[in-house]
């Protein structure tokens, strides 16, 4: 039994989309969650089904092979998949809110015709910004791009790149002029089979283990000049604006996994007997579950409101930062309490809630740490530099 749902926030078509996806996730995704987590690998057949269902190209126009949907539908998909497995949620999230959105907004017509049909049908994407020395200080990146003839030669390394193992196309950031600071940063569309490009070590992670996180190695990687995304020197703008959208997706991922953990905890509380009655009959447990459900509801409505603002063309930077900050906090609190409701069982891998807790931790780290979200919020609510 799920917690109360903000059904009034959804249209009939959105409810149908959500319900169909929920059924798919229950039938096809849930049986694979534990083996994928243990192996640290995403199921290839399941990823193919994501493409067949149109989940990897939700906003891509129909004439380019996509679903022609809205950003809000991408957010619903991330939430529903994450309710079952946050690794599945983030694969769809990165594809839609980062890679596809960057191409839709910044690619020229030729690039859209070349890449968007692939992204909708069979090609996974990744977003390569982070490096060993540039995390929160993203524009301290050291990857270099040198113009030679009609193309560029890229050298450097990227770290912690989500979807890297599965991806065939990367939105990758490098600087064409280190002396220009952030104004030298440029975005490139890099294909996996480009000369001088390879995917390196896959990280052994605490959570979202089925989602690949790898380093990228560029050694005289040759990228055609026509694969510059947007304008030379404008990569910083692409990175900032795309990540603002991506933070809504992470909020949806965190709200979804919090819901999944709550459902397990509530059902267990009804079944677990102590002192002759279900532990859900004890007021202390009731209050915990009630508090958890309230915070989940608030998180979901924050996600939905911010996604609606994005679709409406309204400014949403502050709300996106609030969404990621709050939803990641709720996810960590809810999943931790879910383990406590399970007691000793919750601390073992034989029961599902410990995985939700492991998966929740990344929400405060990637696509902008909680401190960076607070800095953004403070700047926008208080004013100043």
The answer to whether 216 and 161 have CB atoms below 8 angstroms apart is yes
pLDDT digits (tens, 9 = 90+) for 231-255: 999 999 999 999 999 999 999 999 9
Specify the higher pLDDT residue, 328 or 137: 328
The pLDDT value recorded for residue 383 is 87
The pLDDT value recorded for residue 385 is 57
Q: CA 252 from chain center: how many Å? A: 8
pLDDT digits (tens, 9 = 90+) for 209-220: 999 999 999 999
The answer to whether 189 and 169 have CB atoms below 8 angstroms apart is yes
> Which parts of 29-122 are beta strand (E)?
none
Backbone region of residue 4 per phi and psi (left: phi > 0; alpha: psi in -120 to 50; beta: other values)? beta
In the predicted structure, residue 325 carries a pLDDT above the cut 50: yes
**Residue 135 pLDDT class (50, 70, 90 cuts):** confident
Which of the residues 59, 215, 295, 367 is marked catalytic? 367
pLDDT-above-90 percentage for the chain: 95
Cα-based distances in Å from 313 to 71, 111, 307, 308, 317: 11, 24, 10, 9, 12
φ, ψ at 126 (rounded to 5°): -140, 160
Instruction: Determine the Cα–Cα distance for residues 260 and 273; give it in Å rounded to an integer.
Output: 22
Give the mean pLDDT of 330-347: 98
In the predicted structure, residue 367 carries a pLDDT above the cut 90: yes
Instruction: Determine the Cα–Cα distance for residues 249 and 97; give it in Å rounded to an integer.
Output: 7
In the predicted structure, residue 6 carries a pLDDT above the cut 70: no
Q: CA 167 from chain center: how many Å? A: 15
Rounded to a whole number of angstroms, the CA Rg of the chain reads: 21
Domains with residue ranges and CATH for the chain: 7-123 (1.10.540.10), 126-234 (2.40.110.10), 237-382 (1.20.140.10)
In the predicted structure, residue 164 carries a pLDDT above the cut 50: yes
Tokens of residue 338, six digits: 């879910």
Q: What is the pTM of this model?
A: 0.96
**How many other CB atoms are there within 10 angstroms of residue 216's CB atom?**
26
Q: What is the torsion angle, in degrees rounded to the nearest 10, for the CA atoms of residue 82, residue 305, residue 362 and residue 121? A: 50
Say whether 146 is catalytic: no
In the predicted structure, residue 258 carries a pLDDT above the cut 60: yes
The pLDDT value recorded for residue 1 is 46
CA angle 150, 152, 156 (to 5 degrees): 175
Indicate the DSSP class of residue 179: G
Tokens of residue 336, six digits: 């931790």
């Amino acid at each position: 039994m799920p917690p109360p749902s903000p059904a009034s926030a959804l249209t009939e078509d959105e409810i149908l989309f959500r319900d169909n996806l929920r059924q798919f996730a229950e039938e096809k995704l849930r049986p694979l969650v534990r083996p994928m987590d243990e192996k640290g690998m995403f199921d290839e057949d399941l990823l193919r089904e994501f493409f067949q269902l149109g989940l990897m190209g939700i906003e891509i126009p129909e004439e380019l092979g996509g679903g022609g949907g809205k950003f809000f539908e991408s957010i619903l998909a991330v939430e529903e998949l994450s309710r079952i497995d946050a690794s599945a949620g983030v694969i769809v999230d990165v594809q839609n809110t980062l890679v596809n959105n960057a191409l839709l907004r910044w690619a020229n017509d030729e690039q859209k015709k070349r890449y968007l049909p692939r992204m909708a049908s069979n090609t996974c994407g990744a977003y390569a910004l982070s490096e060993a020395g540039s995390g929160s200080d993203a524009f301290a990146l050291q990857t270099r791009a040198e113009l030679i003839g009609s193309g560029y030669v890229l050298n450097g390394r990227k770290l912690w790149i989500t979807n890297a193992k599965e991806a065939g196309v990367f939105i990758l950031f490098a600087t064409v002029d280190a002396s220009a600071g952030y104004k030298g940063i440029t975005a490139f569309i890099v294909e996996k089979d480009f000369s001088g490009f390879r995917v390196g070590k896959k990280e052994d992670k605490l959570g979202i283990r089925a989602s690949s996180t790898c380093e990228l190695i560029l050694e005289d990687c040759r990228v055609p000049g026509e694969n510059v995304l947007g304008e030379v020197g404008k990569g910083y703008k692409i990175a900032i604006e795309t990540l603002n959208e991506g933070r809504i997706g992470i909020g949806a991922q965190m709200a979804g996994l919090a819901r999944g953990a709550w459902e397990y905890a509530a059902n267990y509380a009804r079944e677990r007997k102590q002192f002759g009655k279900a532990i859900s009959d004890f007021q202390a447990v009731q209050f915990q579950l009630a508090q958890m459900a309230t915070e989940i509801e608030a998180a979901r409505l924050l996600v939905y409101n911010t996604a609606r603002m994005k679709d409406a063309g309204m400014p949403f930077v502050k709300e996106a930062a609030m969404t990621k900050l709050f939803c990641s906090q709720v996810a960590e609190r809810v999943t931790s309490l879910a383990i406590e409701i399970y007691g000793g069982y919750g601390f073992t891998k034989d029961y599902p809630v410990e995985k939700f807790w492991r998966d929740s931790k990344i929400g405060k780290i990637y696509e902008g740490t909680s401190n960076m979200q607070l800095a953004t919020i403070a700047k926008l609510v208080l004013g100043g530099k």
